[in-house]
Structure 1
Amino acid sequence: MSSKTRSKNKVKSSEPPSLIPSLPEDIIVDILARVGRCYYPKLSLVSKHFRSLVTSHELYSRRLLLGCTEHCLYVVLCNRENYKNHCYVLCRKANGNHSLVLIPSFSNYMPRKGKGGFVAVGSRIYVFGRLNATSIDCRSQTVHLLPSMNVTMSVSVADIIDGKIYVSGCCNNQRKMVMTVFNTETQMWEPKKTAPETLMSDCMWPGDCVVLAGKMYMQDDINSFVFEPKESKWETEKTLNMFRWKDECVVDDVLYYYDCVWEVLRAYDPKESGWLVVNGLEELLAQARFSDWSYTGSYGRKLVLFFWKMTGKTRVIRCAEISLERRQEKEIWGKSEWCDDVLVGGDFFVRKSLDVIV
């Protein structure tokens, strides 16, 4: 054997062997469960075995037992050119900045056109369109078809109370709202509900919808309404109707939305039955001053604000994460944790953001 061959073999033998593949399966799962989920896409490239592990039920069960679950923000973007919906996830890049990453497999199950209803329940995203209803498991990245809705309607909004998803829309192209209920435990539909005629305006079309303290707050083109599910009771809400809130979110049973007219972040507290302006965000909100669109979402008890900006002729979606603090009974302060360009190019806007636990 030549000296060169011996030296090569010596170098190869001096390289430390890979230890993880030789470990027992349960130890590998235990290690991966402690790794941040943002690294799972890269881990899936290591081998077919790892690709299988990062989507396995065993891994996420272990994450739950170890208390390593995370809040992850999924975002449904709508393309203004064709009004098709696409699913993205907010990821943190190696340099610390954030970006929206397309999930093609999920996008295939988004409603092709129209608003649709989207709800996050634990690790699942429920999607309701005019004809189909689906459930997407964000852990295993699998999709399940749900039973067909018991009423045909143009779905506008959906939200969840006590394990039941309330899906609202207009039936048979009429300007009247219909609501149907999907039980996530039984995976079955319950009888539809219709708002009383005395509450409906002539142009009632369900707009935005939120859940505060076990009640559903909704608005049509003119008024705001409150639905009490236990008593199946509808009421008008005059205080909430002071502002035309839209693209809103809820954090700790308080409604938040960005008022682009007055350039402030407003908050509605149902306990106080009044509106507040969130303090401390003047510098951040100045960046959204010239945006003709904005959206507020929430995940992990924090608020995210999306808005447009122009870089030359390129449209950019910018996102800021905001932590909230209640300093006094009627005083809320916000602090911008970060603000990044998360999507460059295209003509998109946020249809819905979803707080998923994985």
Structure 2
Amino acid sequence: MSSETRSKEEQYSEPPSLSPSLPEDIIVDILARVGRCYYPKLSLVSKHFRSLVTSHELYARRSLLGCTEHSLYVVLCNRENGDHHCYVLFRKANGNHSLVLIPSLSNYMPLEGGFVAVGSRIYVFGRLKSVPQNAAISIDCRSQTVHLLPSMNATMMSVSVADIIDGKIYVTGCCNNPDKMVMTVFNTETQMWEPKKTTPETMSGGMCLDECVVMAGKMYIRNHIKRFVYVYGPKESKWETNKEMLHWEDACVVDDVLYFYDSGWELLRAYDPKESSWEVVDGLEELLAEARYSVWSYTGSYDGKLALFFPKTTGRTKAIRCAEISLERRQGKEIWGKVEWCDDVLVGDDFYVEKTLDVIV
């Protein structure tokens, strides 16, 4: 065989592997350093990669390396049939953002209930499609797996609100007597229920309690019918009422300050419980003008920032638009907002945001 013939054969032959197969722990170490926005693409490489990107070993390695990220999970309600679905907000490789459906969790979204994010888990309380009444579940967001929790130690017709203080989740709902409210506590460290708490006699009618936030170690539960807010301090086991901060809805808390979009005045408002006063967040005029006349809006907290969701309609096409807003204190009480990005994150369906959950994975 001539040298010329051998040269042509070598040119078109399969090149040898530059390196042998990597050990499993090295692959895990490499993947742990990659942003989660690339995991959906990596899961398409092979069954092996699909298994790795949801493995406990990978997320344990991410935590050890300090590569964990805040991930925003979003519960959406279909305006046509009332069904609830779970999505996660992903940043695409091109820098844009979108909501990605998690089909395996659809059966675990209650029509009415409470959601609480704790680290890499989401705790769900309420009437679920797939588990008995008064049961509760936790969702491991690293592997998208569902775990049944011990049965609640209180019988509730419906769960109104739930939130967490010092590792304990306080679940409040309406018991068999529709005029009687009950509160029970789930300890996330022991994974056990603690004795029930006494609720005020004035707290009646489960459907009246429609929102809850935590600020400075206290729970603020809004009652829109009675037109005041219940305030509960676990350390003192004491209930109070607050009529000054009544007018808020679909709100969130960042650094112990409550934020919500006031669609009537087209303003982002902030309430500081230390000052017992309302302020207006400046610097967002262009964004809020875009959200004008929205039939709904939702403000969620996300890695120390705000995520403002509102609908957008172009012709017959419906979409959900989301803006990430960073916050800055200026001259004492002044709060300024800056839009980091604003994208159409879901197009083609008629949904509204029921709940957002800041998960660390």
TM-score scaled by length of structure 2: 0.92
Matches of 1:84 and 1:230 in 2, distance apart? Answer: 38
User: What does the per-residue CA deviation read over 1:1-25, in whole Å, with 9 as the maximum and x for residues that have no partner?
Assistant: 99999845643333x5264x71222
1:308/1:315 contact within 8 Å kept = yes
- Counterpart CA distance in 1 for 2:68 and 2:278 is 34
1:356 aligns with 2:353: no
Deviation at 1:255, TM superposition (A): 0.5
| Aligned counterpart for 1:155 among listed residues 148, 154, 159 | 159
Q: Deviations over 1:26-56 (max 9, x none)?
A: 2211111110011111112212222222122
Distance 1:70 1:202 in 2: 39
CA drift at 1:347: 1.8
Secondary structure class of the residue paired with 1:13: coil
Counterpart amino acid of residue 45 in structure 1: L
Counterpart in 2 of 1:344? Answer: 347
Structure 1 consecutive aligned stretches of length 4 or more whose deviation exceeds 4 Å: 1-10, 201-204
- Does residue 181 (structure 1) correspond to residue 185 (structure 2)? The answer is yes
How has the CA–CA distance of structure 1 residues 270 and 101 changed in structure 2, closer, same or farther, with 3 Å as cutoff? same
Distance 1:49 1:234, change over 3 A: same
Distance 1:123 1:211 in 2: 19
5 Å matches for 1:226-241? 226-241=231-246
Q: Partners of 2:253 and 2:18 in 1: how far apart?
A: 47
Amino acid at match of 1:23: L
What is the correspondence of 1:1-358 to structure 2 with a 5 Å cutoff?
Answer: 7=8, 10-14=11-15, 17=17, 19=19, 22-111=21-110, 113=111, 115-130=112-127, 131=133, 132-153=135-156, 154-172=158-176, 174-197=178-201, 199-200=202-203, 205-221=208-224, 222-241=227-246, 244-358=247-361
Residues 3-12 or 52-61, more deviating: 3-12
- Contact 1:71-1:299 within 8 A present in 2 as well: yes
Distance 2:61 2:208 in 1: 44
3-state SS, counterpart of residue 349 of structure 1: strand
Secondary structure of 1:247 counterpart:
coil
Q: Is the 8 A contact 1:177 1:206 kept in 2?
A: no
1:118 maps to amino acid: F
How many pairs does the alignment contain? 351
Query: Structure 1 pair 177/348, CA: closer, same or farther in 2 (3 Å)?
Result: same
Conservation of the 8 A alpha-carbon contact between 2:90 and 2:100: yes
> Matched residue of 1:174: which SS?
coil
SS across alignment from 1:107: helix
Name the CA distance, whole Å, in 2 between partners of 1:92 and 1:5: 49
- How big is each residue's C-alpha offset from its partner over 1:81-135, in whole Å with a ceiling of 9 and x where there is no partner? 2211100011122332111110001222111x2x211111000011111323111
Cα drift, residue 201 of structure 1: 6.3
**Hey, what's the Cα distance between the residues in 1 that align with 2:206 and 2:148?**
33
Q: 1:231–1:315: structure 2 CA closer, same or farther, 3 Å change rule?
A: same
For residue 123 of structure 2, give the secondary structure of its aligned residue in structure 1: strand
Per the TM alignment, residue 357 of structure 1 is displaced from its structure 2 partner at its CA by 0.3
User: For structure 2, which runs of at least 5 residues remain unmatched after alignment?
Assistant: 128-132
1:155-204: per-residue Cα shift (whole Å, max 9, x none)? Answer: 1211111111111121126143321111111111122223221x436787
Q: Decide whether aligned partners of structure 1 residues 49 and 8 sit closer, same or farther in structure 2, where only a CA change above 3 A counts.
A: farther
Q: Is the 8 A contact 1:177 1:205 kept in 2?
A: no
The more displaced of 130-139 and 244-253 is: 130-139
1:146/1:328 CA distance change after superposition, 3 Å: same
For 1:26 and 1:357, locate their aligned partners in 2 and report how far apart those are by CA, in whole Å.
23
Match of 1:185, SS state, is coil
The runs of 5 or more residues in structure 1 that have no matched partner are none
Sort the Cα spacing of 1:149 and 1:308 in 2 relative to 1 into closer, same or farther, 3 A: same
